[in-house]
Structure 1
Amino acid sequence: MSDESLVVRCQLGEREAFAELVRVWHGTVERYVRRMLSRADDDVVQEIWLAVVRQLPRLRQPGLFAPWLFAIARRAVMNQLRQSYASPDTGPLDESAAEAAGDPLPDLLDRELIDGALSALPPRDREVLILFYLSDLPLEACAQICAVPVGTVKSRLHRARRLLRAELLRKGYEA
């Protein structure tokens, strides 16, 4: 069943459709949050789903559910990052938490190395890599989520790939 039909069914009040929508997208949302924050954060994930429940009836284009969902997730993640930056007693982010969640990555690189390199990138660069490569969203959807033109997404991807490559080399990975 497509996301669009699930969204329409949710808007009509079918609880089973919402449960299916959550089942389909929950893992993706958790991975996005974990990679953006460099740690798992169930509170942020829960905040995202609460926002979806509240705002889903107002979604006018059910076919654009994925970019809409990621825009909500992005807002929640950025709010969390702002809070952690403002809090002076916040310690370094725990990279081992990212390792504990179980999503498979290509066998080319060690998961810990990738997560560590991603967490070292600035949030804007990390975000476009996660959206485009790890969430398999098209450039147009990435642009919509980040609220920037497609050209800006392309330039951020270019910069992020360069920074990620440099970070991986710094951490000892040799291509």
Structure 2
Amino acid sequence: MTDELLVVRAQLGERAALAEVVARWRLPVWRYVRRMLDADRADDVSQEIWLAVVRGLPRLREPARFTPWLFAIARRSVVDRLRTEYAREQETPLQDDRCVEQDDRCVEDPGEAVVVRAELVDALTGLPVLEREILVLHYLEDLSVQDCAQVCQVPVGTVKSRLHRARRLLREHLNGKGYRS
């Protein structure tokens, strides 16, 4: 069954259809939020997103555009959370008590894959928020450039330039770690 049909059925009040929509999209939404925030905040923000979806679903005029609509809600929720936290940080500076050991490397193949993934995640989180968001939406959530533009409420050209800049920044970071493209 297509997302569009499930959304229409959910709009008509069918609980099973709403449950199916949530089941299909819960993990992709959480992954998007997790890539923008840490795991603890991702859980909270994901719940806020689904509450907004349930409340707003009856007003969705184009069920075929559910995916960009869903990610637009997710984006607004992430931005709201970041904005709130940045405002709090300005009031009371927080100390960073994370300990990062840079010389601790795995040698075995399975461990090497974990290290490579961790370095990629580190590189992704090191990108500016706007560029990270575009990379996550386009490459990891498989949204088109047009859908990314709709979600981020920017022109298509802006999405393309952010993608270009994000890829360049990611490449520079990985090259600095010894990876070659």
User: Do both proteins adopt the same fold according to a TM-score greater than 0.5, normalized to the shorter chain?
Assistant: yes
Distance 2:131 2:97 in 1: 17
1:86 CA drift (Å): 1.6
Checking the alignment, whether the CA contact within 8 Å between 1:36 and 1:77 is kept in structure 2 is yes
**SS of alignment partner, residue 121 of structure 1:** coil
1:174 CA drift (Å): 3.2
Structure ID, larger Rg = 2
Instruction: Tell me the alpha carbon deviations over residues 34-69 of structure 1, each in whole angstroms, 9 at most, x when there is no partner.
Output: 101144521100000000000000000000000000
Call closer, same or farther: CA 1:142–1:91 in 2, change over 3 Å.
farther
**1:8-157 equivalent positions in 2, closer than 5 A:** 8-40=8-40, 41-88=42-89, 89-90=93-94, 92=96, 110-157=116-163
Between the two proteins, the alignment pairs up a number of residues equal to 165
Checking the alignment, whether the CA contact within 8 Å between 1:38 and 1:119 is kept in structure 2 is no
- TM normalised by structure 1 equals 0.87
Distance 2:164 2:32 in 1: 20
The percentage of aligned residue pairs carrying the same residue is 60
* RMSD between aligned residues: 2.2
Unaligned runs of 5+ in 2: 101-112
Unaligned runs of 5+ in 1: 97-106
- TM normalised by structure 2 equals 0.84
Distance 2:123 2:22 in 1: 29
1:169 CA drift (Å): 2.0
Code of the aligned partner of 2:65: L
Call closer, same or farther: CA 1:34–1:90 in 2, change over 3 Å.
farther
Bigger relative contact order, structure 1 or 2 (CA pairs below 8 A, ≥6 apart): 1
**SS of alignment partner, residue 4 of structure 1:** helix
Call closer, same or farther: CA 1:62–1:118 in 2, change over 3 Å.
same
Instruction: Tell me the alpha carbon deviations over residues 3-61 of structure 1, each in whole angstroms, 9 at most, x when there is no partner.
Output: 10010000000000011001100110010001011445211000000000000000000
Call closer, same or farther: CA 1:146–1:91 in 2, change over 3 Å.
farther
Call closer, same or farther: CA 1:90–1:8 in 2, change over 3 Å.
farther
Distance 1:29 1:72 in 2: 10
Call closer, same or farther: CA 1:129–1:93 in 2, change over 3 Å.
farther
Distance 2:96 2:84 in 1: 14
1:173 CA drift (Å): 2.6
Distance 1:174 1:79 in 2: 36
